[in-house]
Chains A and B, each alone.
Chain A
Amino acid sequence: MRRLSVIALALAFVALLIGAMLELGPAAVDLRGPVAAHLVQSGVSHTVTAVLLNYRGYDTLLEIAVLLLALLAILAALGDMPDSPTRAAHPVLQTLARLAAPLMIVVAVYLLWAGAFRPGGAFQAGAVLAAAGVLLHLVGLIPGWSLPRLRLRIGLAAGFVVFLTVAALLLMQGALLKYPPDMAGGLILLIESGLTISLALILAGLFLFLSQEEGGS
């Protein structure tokens, strides 16, 4: 009996939610027009990339900062880990990973380049690169990471540093991340390249630093 009443209440709540959804009016501000109107000055021809890196560039700047901070927190919580040997997977798996990794790198570069005029961009490219790293680690071809050395540290921070430098230089002209229209394309590509490298290392690091604990995966 009690179960039935709970189910009835849940169903009533679902009905209420669906009713509320149907009641929703059109969005108060329609931004599709302004976005399309200023696309020529944004330096890219894909609306999503234009919004992410030009109109609302500071959102993306803060996103990469948050990801970097998350990785730093993990490193701080992990402390000093001893190196552990990686277990080699079956040769067939290793060969497959060897074949897949170069393809994934090519796909990542394509996604980065394609971001300017079709779906793609730094986050997707970085995620594919990170997946390649995780794949190579899982089959035992690259070891897990313990303490990041200088080169890795530079790579982890590069995207944020490049983005912040561009933002600071542009700030001197008056507004945060307001690219001059003739340089916008180049600046966005520069920022996205840095972002791709850092995102790949940060996302792969989330896995490769953590799997170092308890003798690797």
Chain B
Amino acid sequence: MTLAFDLLLALSLLWSAWRTLTTPRLDRAIVLFIAFGLLMTLAWARLSAPDIGLAEAAIGAGLTGALLLDAYGVLRRRRAES
């Protein structure tokens, strides 16, 4: 059971990382990046490192995701203005 979960987690990590890099749309890439961060949190928890998991969730997925979305918003406004 746990082995199946770990395999699924590893596969979805690789898949979301690949999709983040290859998707042509920026907004989708950012959302995928946040999803990747949350999956990474699960992976750290499974590796019995909840410390890193917490930091990853708060900084990797949360703050970085918010910064990227903010930057995307600015880019879109700039494009709309020009």
**Chains A and B bind each other:** yes
Q: Which residues of B contact A111 (CB under 8 A)?
A: 54
Minimum CB–CB distance from B79 to chain A (whole Å) comes to 12
Number of interface residues of A (CB under 8 A): 21
The verdict on B67 contacting chain A, using a C-beta distance below 8 Å, is yes
Q: Identify which of A119, A203, A214 contacts B54 (C-beta below 8 A).
A: A119
Look across to chain B and name the residue whose beta carbon is closest to the beta carbon of A121. B51
The verdict on A93 contacting chain B, using a C-beta distance below 8 Å, is no
Q: Among B58, B74, B77, find the residue whose CB has the most chain A CB atoms closer than 10 A.
A: B58
Main secondary structure of the interface of A (DSSP, over half): helix
* Given contact pairs A127-B58, A128-B58, A210 touches B67 in the complex (Cβ within 8 A): yes
**B70 near A210: Cβ-Cβ < 8 Å:** yes
The verdict on A55 contacting chain B, using a C-beta distance below 8 Å, is no
Complex CA gap A134/B74 in Å reads 17
**B51 near A203: Cβ-Cβ < 8 Å:** no
**A211 near B70: Cβ-Cβ < 8 Å:** yes
Q: Which residues of B contact A121 (CB under 8 A)?
A: 51
Look across to chain A and name the residue whose beta carbon is closest to the beta carbon of B71. A210
* Given contact pairs A134-B63, A203-B63, A207-B66, A214 touches B51 in the complex (Cβ within 8 A): no
* Given contact pairs A120-B51, A130-B58, A214 touches B63 in the complex (Cβ within 8 A): no
Complex CA gap A60/B74 in Å reads 34
Q: Identify which of B59, B63, B74 contacts A213 (C-beta below 8 A).
A: B74
Q: Which residues of B contact A211 (CB under 8 A)?
A: 70
Chain A residues 103 to 137 lying within 8 A of chain B, measured CB to CB, are: 111, 119-121, 123-124, 127-128, 130-131, 134
Complex CA gap A48/B74 in Å reads 39
Chain A residues 148 to 206 lying within 8 A of chain B, measured CB to CB, are: 203, 206
Q: Which residues of B contact A127 (CB under 8 A)?
A: 54-55, 58-59, 62-63
* Given contact pairs A127-B59, A217-B73, A120 touches B67 in the complex (Cβ within 8 A): no
**B54 near A131: Cβ-Cβ < 8 Å:** no
**A206 near B51: Cβ-Cβ < 8 Å:** no
Interface set of B (CB-CB < 8 Å, partner A): 50-51, 54-55, 58-59, 62-63, 66-67, 70, 73-74, 77-78
Can you list 11 residue pairs at the A/B interface with Cβ under 8 Å?
Answer: A120-B51, A121-B51, A123-B55, A124-B54, A127-B54, A130-B58, A131-B63, A210-B67, A214-B74, A214-B78, A217-B73
Known contacts A127-B59, A206-B67, A214-B74; 16 further A-B pairs (Cβ under 8 A): A48-B51, A119-B51, A119-B54, A120-B51, A124-B51, A128-B54, A130-B63, A131-B62, A134-B62, A134-B63, A138-B66, A207-B66, A211-B70, A214-B77, A217-B73, A217-B74
